[in-house]
Amino acid sequence: MTHASPPPRSSTDHRTGFARVPVRPFPASPGPARRSPARLGLVRRLLAPIALLTVVGPAACANDAPVYDIVLSGGRVMDPESGTDAMLNVAITGDRIEAISEQPLTGTRVIDASGLVVAPGFVDLHQHGQTDETYRFMAHDGVTTGLELEVGTGDVAAFYAEREGGQPVNYGASIGHIPVRMRVMGDTGDFLPADAGKDDLATPEQIEEIAGRIREGLDQGAPAVGFGFPYTPAATDEELLAAMSVAGELGASAHVHTYGWPDGAQYVIDLAEQAGAPLHIVHANSTGGAATADFLAVVQEAVDAGGDVTTEAYPYGASQSRIESALYDDWEGWDDARFGVFQWGATGERLTRESFGRYREQGGSVISHVRTEEMTLTAVANPLTMVASDGGAQVSHPRSTGSFSKVLGKYVREDGVLTLMEALRKMTIEPARRLEAYVPMMANKGRIRVGADADVTVFDPETVRDRGDYTNAAVPSAGIEYVFVNGVLTIEDGEYLGTRAGRPVRR
Ligand SMILES: [Zn+2]
């Protein structure tokens, strides 16, 4: 699959409706000068004189030029859907992008975006953290929509009810086979299965109940169905097929943490085909491991054969999971040396056989340093992979705070393994498209387009970078200067405002 972009547009007036007029290029960015004097120099409030005499809100000047709520002036607008890559002005009124033009636009407020990239807000399909703290880090990382689609929730109605009234970014959760199975089987774990949910075979009646609860979750508006096969090893092919067939029947995508190499990719592709479900394979990097290139080749083969199959990766070499989960059920048979790759999330200490056993009794988040940079690079650079963080509610892995900025800072700017447009495609239009057939509201996200939701991320391509690490993950990314969620600023001049304009993403 190739992703060649059309050449940059010289004009966008066919979309904005403005008359075509001779192009007057924007002056080159003055660079650091735009930062001086601090905020006052960055943000100008321009009130059109005649608009002052009329009503507040969208108004017209005497010459009928519209006055928008906000104009982002002179930024490098990059939209992977259309291929637009040009110095343009973008106007927002209310919660929508209202105009994109080479000509000056009039706004109640004008933000000088010169020297900055104006991109669609990033869409993260895999973010377990759905809390005030994690939403704040997402916004600092340029994410305007953060969805928990892998593990998901067992109670879709309650998930959305708890977040009613607005969140800092757009949010949502799938109905998850894991939490549904935990509930049906009577598991005592608090996030991933710790006992019956991973160990016990389901009876035919229980399989029917699992499928029924997944259907109920979709009826309640869940945007997808989540699975994590390695966390539910007692689930049979029959159970997984019954659960996934509900997704297939209704047209929802299945977001699956599948088994590792060599069988996991083909297994889930075959299962999804049988179930008739669109398939999204989560974290090809950690599931593929040393065989990531081969793993992605299997996915590519399915895509080439016409399968509706997508995948994602996060740009870090360490994994993170729960120490009590089924992933580590065989821990007592390991060599002593293997324990050293594990780092306890709460303290940062490296583990031994003794401490691993002790923490497994207690339960909690553990980081495992298991992949080389070459493996990460293979996953991030492959055209198939979207960027998705797999961030956690406990912010102890830098992927929770810096996945998107790291791709832009390291893999685009420093290493040059992706173009900026390719990276943005992986963060915006591709995740939006993954969902939009079943969740129509996603067709207005991931785009800088007139009529699209005003989810917009404005960043400095020269400074954007993750700043968290494995001893101190809870550090916001650098270089994300402005973030709009449904037309409302949540990051302004790099500072978090705590606004709550984020809405539920649901069918
Ligand atoms: Zn995950």
DSSP per position, 113-149: -TTSEEEEPEEESBB---SHHHHHHHHHTTEEEEEEE
Contact 58, 69 (CB under 8 A): yes
Here the tokens at position 232 are: 């539910």
Task: Give the model's confidence band at 94: pLDDT under 50 very low, under 70 low, under 90 confident, else very high.
Answer: very high
Look at residue 306 and tell me whether its pLDDT is greater than 80.
yes
Q: What is the pLDDT of residue 63?
A: 66
496 CA → ligand 1 middle, Å: 26
Q: What is the pLDDT of residue 45?
A: 38
- Count other Cβ atoms within 10 Å, centred on residue 175: 31
CA-wise closest residue to 121 among 74, 69, 168: 168
392 CA → ligand 1 middle, Å: 8
**Tens of pLDDT, residues 102-114:** 999 999 999 999 9
Task: Give the model's confidence band at 322: pLDDT under 50 very low, under 70 low, under 90 confident, else very high.
Answer: very high
Q: What is the CA radius of gyration of the chain?
A: 23
81 CA → ligand 1 middle, Å: 27
**Range with the lowest mean pLDDT among 24-38, 68-82, 85-99, 165-179?**
24-38
Contact 172, 147 (CB under 8 A): yes
Average pLDDT on 146-166 reads 98
390 CA → ligand 1 middle, Å: 5
Average pLDDT on 393-411 reads 97
151 CA → ligand 1 middle, Å: 7
178 CA → ligand 1 middle, Å: 12
394 CA → ligand 1 middle, Å: 12
416 CA → ligand 1 middle, Å: 27
Length of the chain: 507
**Tens of pLDDT, residues 420-468:** 999 999 999 999 999 999 999 999 999 999 999 999 999 999 999 999 9
303 CA → ligand 1 middle, Å: 23
Parallel, antiparallel, or unpaired: how do β-strands 365-369 and 342-344 relate?
A: antiparallel
Contact 504, 486 (CB under 8 A): no
In the chain, what is the straight-line distance between the N-terminal and C-terminal CA atoms, in Å?
29
339 CA → ligand 1 middle, Å: 22
437 CA → ligand 1 middle, Å: 23
* Domains located in the chain, CATH noted: 13-115 (no CATH), 122-317+371-443 (3.20.20.140)
391 CA → ligand 1 middle, Å: 7
DSSP 249-273: HHTPPEEEE---TTTHHHHHHHHHH
**Tens of pLDDT, residues 170-192:** 999 999 999 999 999 999 999 99
- Count other Cβ atoms within 10 Å, centred on residue 311: 28
150 CA → ligand 1 middle, Å: 6
